[in-house]
Structure 1
């Protein structure tokens, strides 16, 4: 039995999750990987060794998640690293998106991850170790993308609960990292991973331009290499003091710096008003 860490990765049939699972298996790790469709996952990974445990999981269903966690532990004896990667993009103006379309995005991107965290933490606490990687986005740090308001809101939520989680689980020796990628050359912008609203409003030309850019121009032109993103995630898990915030990609680095500078500017420009609100 390998003494390397056991990884549990959701959303593993495509995108960064697939690249990560393939890299982990190649390096000899034991991996439990989940997808909504087991045949898609098995076909994408094509590994039949006892290192690999493919699982059909509905992350929106707590019982499904619980069964997957338990099966992973009964198969490999433990879980060391949990990667919440499952999710999808939603592009549309806030006025265009229905309540259901918005809630569906939160259901997967936010509550799906929370289901996994809740079911995994009792085991991680008991062993007094572990590392949770929550795959967010540069859109979880800056929301300045027309048409991505709801998607960014889901990722801002991931960033927020992850920062709190990092403090909550620190006494148990568990680490948390928010992985915030920029544009990587995966299927994320392709049909099925990026959903558009059913009812579009022509007046939002900036949203339509953003939609066209992402669906027709950026797809498969992204600068980021998903295999290198996978290597980076493995590296931080093996680091003694991993970061809470890990930005991936030069575009993400630049966007984060721009957001920090903009907030700093607002703070200083409006400092007098900001600090004038104390009870006299």
Structure 2
């Protein structure tokens, strides 16, 4: 039996992973900004569940939630950083307030929760930290430049953290989904306002934004199947650093790696020639 601390449990992967972990007999600290969004958990065994209000952009709330989790359950074995939002706009169209809000939640919020849990994991020389990223942590797409920038940051932080914590018995796992029916492109994602849209981007960012919105609820990814894979990997003795989820995530990451190789190969001599002469 493991103790989970999960952010963003009101919907999507957070919701499905919480339910899957509870089904397997694990205990779950389920958090969301609005505690009422966790009412669907009321029929779960109360001794295995702790529901808490948590805004990951509020340091005092993070400190209190982690303290309460440790006080009630005695330990945290698995941190699942799932809280996040989307934003649809061309880079030039993007609103600074929306961009900073996205970064505060997707990057700084994730990092703050992680830092709050790490001292406990270090003290017991074990733990799993699962960070929900995206196929967009490897490759960018029109209309979600800032969103993918936040996921690139999560990728880098997770890689560094994995190196830093490996000798301490703590494993870091990047969960990299493609399109799943989690409402990510629905009510949880803001977008450029009509008055700030730039016509020159209508065929690129505009078309992609409309495609994201039109596909809400029709995405090929099944969140319940993803939850099974996520709970499995969290319990794996030797988990990978990356877990792509969905066919497009797997293929899309490989395509990006191939495109980078192709892009840099023609100027290999120029790249290598920039070092000092030996």
> What TM-score results when the alignment is normalised by the length of structure 2?
0.96
Structure 1 match to 2:233: 236
Q: Once the two structures are superposed, what CA deviation does each residue of 1:149-196 show, in whole Å capped at 9, x if it has no partner? A: 0000000000000000001111110000011000112211112x1110
The equivalent of 2:172 in structure 1 is 176
What is the CA distance between 1:265 and its match in structure 2? 1.0
Shift in Å, 1:246: 1.0
CA RMSD of aligned residues (A): 1.1
- Aligned with 1:277 (options 270, 274, 278): 274
C-alpha distance in structure 2 between counterparts of 1:43 and 1:142, whole Å? 35
What is the CA–CA distance in structure 1 between the aligned matches of 2:149 and 2:103, rounded to whole Å?
A: 8
Runs of 4+ in 1 over 4 A off after TM superposition: none
Conserved? CA contact 1:139–1:156, under 8 Å: yes
Once the two structures are superposed, the pairs formed by residues 49-128 of structure 1 within 5 Å of their partners are 49-128=46-125
Partners of 2:44 and 2:232 in 1: how far apart? 23
Specify the SS of the correspondent of 1:121.
Answer: helix
Q: CA deviation at 1:203?
A: 2.2
- Secondary structure at the aligned position of 2:200 is classed as coil
The 5 Å alignment of 1:212-227 reads: 212-216=210-214, 218-227=215-224
TM-fit CA distance, 1:43:
3.1
Conserved? CA contact 1:7–1:32, under 8 Å: yes
Measure how far apart 1:41 and its partner are. Answer: 1.4
- Do the aligned residues in 2 keep the contact of 1:185 with 1:223 (CA within 8 Å)? yes
Contact 1:22–1:45, Cα closer than 8 Å, also in 2: no
Which residue number in structure 2 is paired with residue 268 of structure 1?
265
- What's the CA shift for 1:46? 4.3
Aligned residue pair count: 274
For the 8 Å contact 1:11–1:85, the answer to whether it is kept is: yes
The TM-score normalised by the length of structure 1 is: 0.95
> What 5-or-longer segments of structure 1 have no aligned partner?
none
Equivalent-residue separation in structure 2 for 1:42 and 1:94 (angstroms): 37
Contact 1:129/1:172 (CA < 8 Å) preserved in 2?
A: yes
The SS at the match of 1:195 is strand
Out of 44, 48, 62, the position equivalent to 1:47 is 44
